[in-house]
Amino acid sequence: MRTQPALASRRPTRRWLGALVGVVSAAAGLATSELVSGAFHQRVSPVIAVSESVIRLTPGWVIEHVISLLGHRDKPVLITLTLLGLAVVSALVGILSLRSILAAQGVFMAMGVVLVLAVHARLTSSSAIYIAPVLGVVVALGVLAVLAPMAANALPAAPREPAPWEKPGRPKGRADEFEQHDLSRRRLLVAAAAVAVGAVVVGGTGRVLAHSRAAVEAARRKLKLPIAARPAPVSADLKIRGVAPWMTGVGDFYRIDTALAIPQILPRDWQVRVHGMVDREITLTYQDLLDRGLKEAWITLCCVSNPVGGGLISNAQWSGVRIADVLAEAGVHPDADAVLSTSADNWTAGTPLAALTDDRDAMFAVAMNGEPLTPEHGFPVRMVVPGLYGYVSATKWVVDLEVTRFDRFSAFWTDRGWSANGPIKTESRIDVPSSGSNVKAGEVIVAGVAWAQHTGIDKVEVRIGAGEWVEAKLAAEPTIDSWRQWVYRWSATPGRHEIAVRATDTSGYTQTGDRVDVVPNGATGWDTISVQVS
């Protein structure tokens, strides 16, 4: 039988071609995700995120063992192992693709979900972080869809015995067929090589782009700021499970910006220019700020896009230099009423001059919770202004302050239909119980946060069903610039209940129940939940 040896040698070829297709497709996808995360200056690429997830999911004693074995090389080794693992799985997917492209693509998509989850676990609150893994998967699926059929063509169909009615022996036809497969195989190899080279170039470019982030991270780590992380005042935090901690950890701090690529600015390259309607133009370097001495303040930032009950609000301790002092030195003209601030990536905000010159702690902030700002939150310097929504005040990566008049400019979001003025509206939120949950009859803790930055919270009231408004107990308020926790111990009776909350600030204003959307200057309405008591 002449076909026997041919059959034996064909099996491994089939596997090799399949594995090649799988590995090359995955490499193209991973390279794409490296390029995107590098171009966007994200802190970790999907591959690194997966490696870090592996570390997190590995029992501590195994890690200690590995570290004692490998020393400082544990990270590169882990990344190499992760890549090898991905290569093995991708090779199997490629072999599978010769049988069923759909099944293989299904596995790739599942791998994509793992990448997204790893990235999700590692970074915070900007949907841009998902672009890298998602584009990566799309590219991998696309390359697989092209290469898998090419591989199938390059493989001879399974040999079969001629049927009794067929004329035996068609040597010419078989030779043609083999030549055909040879050609297809060569084509496949060329295509796979091209994709592989492309992946190396694209992935390498991604790593080069990621380098500026790495340099900034290194500079950031080396900074020794004359500040210390101070714990939140104990009396401000009721420490109730499910209620947002009074002080938000940097990793949990909400993040909103228009920057796809996070600006990478070394402290030594940073400066801010203060100019416009002033007597003296002032330019400050990072060192100038440090030399002036840093002031600390707890300030709750809030996004104008925060819906009633939403989470686009966080509280941190900021360290920086008061903008009022800098403006006083510059000498502001009496007919100015606004400051137009611009970021390194040309985002702009218009802030009422008064908010930057009165006694509040509007600052050029260099640190958050005792640590230099993270690139995502504006490293090396950002603005923070108590009492104003971020879109009119909290310019990250700030490089320019022009003292001017509101009738002479319009800023990024005011160009897009949002109000020129954006004082934060007094609001309150129920954190526990969660809406739609089931609770047991008896004492139920209803608790959350309320805020009226730079005015202060005077009172928080809770209403059960159609009952009376009853006062909640308030935690301490170390500063009127931060939010305030509240708690109400409710004697819950069986049935379904609606719970609403409203705050009154120290100006005497009580939150309106009128529901207003976030556009153009912030939402209003009472946060209302529904619970089932059994």
The residue range among 216-224, 374-382, 385-393, 491-499 that interacts with Mo ion, by the rule CB under 5 A, is 385-393
Indicate the residue whose CB is closest to ligand MTE: 390
Q: Is the peptide bond before 245 cis (omega within 30 degrees of 0)?
A: no
Q: What are the φ and ψ backbone dihedral angles of 275, each rounded to 5 degrees?
A: -150, -165
Cα of 300 vs its chain's centroid, Å: 19
Chain position carrying tokens 């492209």: 101
Give yes or no for residue 425 binding ligand MTE (CB under 6 A).
no
Residue type, 54: V
Among 123, 131, 394, 452, indicate the residue that binds ligand MTE (CB under 6 A).
Answer: 394
Which one among 206, 390, 422, 433 touches ligand MTE, defined by CB under 6 A? 390
Residue with tokens 């380098």: 211
* CB 44, min distance to ligand MTE, A: 18
Instruction: Output the smallest distance, CB 394 to Mo ion, in A.
Output: 8
> Position of tokens 């800023």?
411
H/E segment holding residue 100: none
State how far the Cα of 148 lies from the Cα of 150, in Å rounded to an integer: 5
Among 112, 136, 203, 390, binds Mo ion (CB under 5 A): 390
- Which residue of 322, 377, 425, 484 would you call a contact of ligand MTE, by CB under 6 A? 377
**Of ligand MTE, Mo ion, none, which one does residue 246 interact with (CB within 5 to 8 Å by kind)?**
none
CB of 451 to Mo ion, least distance (A): 15
Q: Which does 21 bind (CB under 5 to 8 A by kind): Mo ion, ligand MTE, none?
A: none
From the list 122, 360, 396, 463, which residue makes contact with ligand MTE (rule: CB under 6 A)?
396
Site for ligand MTE in 146-165 (CB under 6 A): none
Compute the least distance from the CB of residue 359 to Mo ion, in Å.
25
SS3 state at 530: strand
Judge whether 65 and 157 are in contact, CB under 8 Å.
no
Return the residue of 40, 108, 246, 254 that touches ligand MTE, per CB under 6 A. 254
Among 246, 286, 347, 486, binds ligand MTE (CB under 6 A): 347
Nearer to ligand MTE, 45 or 314 (CB): 314
Cα–Cα distance, 111 to 104 (Å, whole number): 11
Among 108, 253, 318, 526, binds ligand MTE (CB under 6 A): 253
Maximum distance among all Cα pairs of the chain, rounded to whole angstroms: 105
Planar angle of CA 526, 243, 496, nearest 5 degrees: 55
Q: Does an H or E element contain 249, and which? A: none
Instruction: Count the neighbouring beta carbons within 10 Å of the beta carbon of residue 74.
Output: 15
At closest approach, how far in Å is the CB of 395 from ligand MTE? Answer: 5
Partner interacting with residue 490 (select from ligand MTE, Mo ion, none; CB below 5-8 Å by kind): none
Binding mask 292-311 for ligand MTE (x = CB under 6 A): ---------x-x--------
**Residue 255 contact among Mo ion, ligand MTE, none, beta carbon within 5 to 8 Å by kind:** ligand MTE
Contact 313, 302 (CB under 8 A): yes
Pick one of Mo ion, ligand MTE, none as the site partner of residue 257 (Cβ within 5 to 8 A by kind).
ligand MTE
- Contact partner, 379, from ligand MTE, Mo ion, none, Cβ < 5-8 Å per class: none
Question: Of the candidates 486, 353, 361, which has an alpha carbon nearest to the alpha carbon of residue 409?
Answer: 353
Cα–Cα distance list, 26 to 31, 203, 527 (Å):
8, 12, 46
If you ran DSSP here, which 8-state letter would residue 313 be given? E
CB of 365 to ligand MTE, least distance (A): 10
Q: Which two tokens stand for residue 241?
A: 């499970």
* Closest-CA residue to 430 (of 478, 502, 496): 502
> What is the identity of the amino acid at 304?
V
Q: Per CB under 5 A, which of residues 290..309 are in contact with Mo ion?
A: 303
- In eight-state DSSP terms, residue 423 is B
Q: Which residue stretch of 225-233, 275-283, 340-348, 526-534 sits at the interface with ligand MTE (rule: CB under 6 A)? A: 340-348
Tell me which of 92, 256, 290, 533 binds Mo ion, using CB under 5 A. 256
Query: For residues 227 and 301, which CB has a smaller minimum distance to Mo ion in the complex?
Result: 301
Please state, in angstroms and rounded to a whole number, the distance separating the CA atoms of residues 418 and 520.
4
What's phi and psi for 307, nearest 5 deg? Answer: -75, 165
Q: Report the residue number, 209 or 312, with the smaller CB distance to Mo ion.
A: 312
* 343 belongs to the binding site for ligand MTE (CB under 6 A): yes
322 lies in the binding site for ligand MTE (CB under 6 A):
no
> If binding is defined by CB under 6 A, does position 395 make contact with ligand MTE?
yes
Helices 46-57 and 101-122, interaxial angle, to 10°?
70
Interface mask toward Mo ion for 199-238; x: CB under 5 A: ----------------------------------------
**What residue type is assigned to position 95 of the chain?**
I
- Taking the C-alpha atoms of residue 258 and residue 94, their distance in angstroms, rounded to an integer, is 39
Amino acid at 443: E
Scanning the structure block, which residue is given the tokens 């009853």?
470
- Is residue 40 near ligand MTE by the rule CB under 6 A? no
**Under rule CB under 6 A, residue 249 binds ligand MTE:** no
Rounded least distance, CB 414 to Mo ion, Å: 13
Sequence-distant (≥ 6) Cβ neighbours of residue 53 within 8 angstroms:
117, 118, 121, 122
Task: Provide the minimum distance between the beta carbon of 254 and Mo ion in the complex, in angstroms, as a whole number.
Answer: 9
Residues in the site for ligand MTE, rule: CB under 6 A?
253-259, 301, 303, 343, 345, 347, 377, 390-391, 394-397
Residues in the site for Mo ion, rule: CB under 5 A?
256, 303, 390-391
